[in-house]
Amino acid sequence: MTTLRYPDFLCIGAQKSGTSWLHVNLCNHPRLWLPPLKELHYFDHVWNVRGDKSYRHLVWWWRRSARVAAEIRCHGWPGIERIRWYGRYLSFLSDKWYGNLFPPDSDVRVGEVTPAYSRLDEEGVGHVARLVGNAKVIYILRNPIERSWSAAAMRIRNACGITIDRADETQIWQILGHPSIRKGADYVRHIKLWRRHFGESNVHIAFYDDLCADPRSFLRAILGFLEVEPSGGAITERADTRIGKINNVPISGRYLASLLDLHRDQLFDAHQYLRNRHTAAWLESANGRPEAI
């Protein structure tokens, strides 16, 4: 009989806020286990599927297959344990499927990183809580304006293979105007929803600015929240290395003005709810006056 194991912790985002860096560095800890592939996308897929579910599930299966194939092309054939994990990963979606992806070993804490989880609605987060209600939740926040620009750059890079400064202006405006761009920075709503289901003490709010300023201290704080020691080679030189493809293209004036309008109320709401130096700096960078709130 297969023993199911569900996550002890989740990182729910935000997208473009250092989650790939976190996945790589948590994988280094001897008492933590994360899936070989970042972003399982189970809960957001289950609760966001609309229309013909059979077709959507088939498409998602092909995407999972493509991810496995890409890993094998890049790194060669893995060992037998990884091959078995890929086999479970490519099976039919269900709560049992999800629980079968994590090792039953009680000596390690298991978790996963999927930034899309932060955008789940009430029903979706409720499902997560019913399945993994004792899990610890990590949520990394980034200046909404910078996050949205970076997300747009990623979409253009993935779709067209070019940097955002070489993209067609119409395409950029279409991406920046997509509802998901604003939704991705609706931090206060997300935090309140996850805290309501998991409890305030089990939702750790971190800031991308701290990661950039002092990655090792940032990682120590995360490990402290997960109640594991930052020792035994858990913090390596990988902590000082940026992970993933980085967008270094500055935001031009015409797009910056639009992003300011898009996120202005979110910037104020975030500072009003969290009241810290990071949210104050976000407002100042947008010519706001946090002291007036």
Position 237 scores a pLDDT of 78
Q: If DSSP states are collapsed to H, E and C, what string results for the chain?
A: CCCCCCCCEEECCCCCCCHHHHHHHHHCCCCEECCCCCCCCHHHHHHHCCCCHHHHHHHHHHHHHHHHHHHHHHHCCCCHHHHHHHHHHCCCCCHHHHHCCCCCCCCCEEEEECHHHHHCCHHHHHHHHHHHCCCEEEEEECCHHHHHHHHHHHHHHHHHCCCHHHCCHHHHHHHHCCHHHHHCCCHHHHHHHHHHHHCHHHEEEEEHHHHHHCHHHHHHHHHHHCCCCCCCCCCCHHHHCCCCCCCCCCCCHHHHHHHHHHHHHHHHHHHHHHCCHHHHHHHHHCCCCHHHC
Question: What letters, b where the CB count within 10 A reaches 16 and e where it falls short, cover 140-162?
Answer: bbbbbbbbbbbbbbbbbeeeeee
Position 1 scores a pLDDT of 56
Position 55 scores a pLDDT of 61
Tell me the one-letter amino acid at 200.
Answer: E
Q: What is the pLDDT along the chain (293 residues), one digit of tens a residue?
A: 568 999 999 999 999 999 999 999 999 999 999 999 999 999 998 766 544 556 667 778 888 999 999 999 998 988 999 999 999 999 988 899 999 999 998 789 999 999 999 999 999 999 999 999 999 999 999 999 999 999 999 999 888 888 898 898 999 999 998 999 999 999 999 999 999 999 999 999 999 999 999 999 999 999 999 999 887 667 877 788 876 555 568 888 889 999 999 999 999 999 999 999 999 999 988 864 444 34
CB 286 within 8 A of CB 260: yes
Position 232 scores a pLDDT of 60
Position 224 scores a pLDDT of 96
pTM, 2 dp: 0.92
Position 248 scores a pLDDT of 67
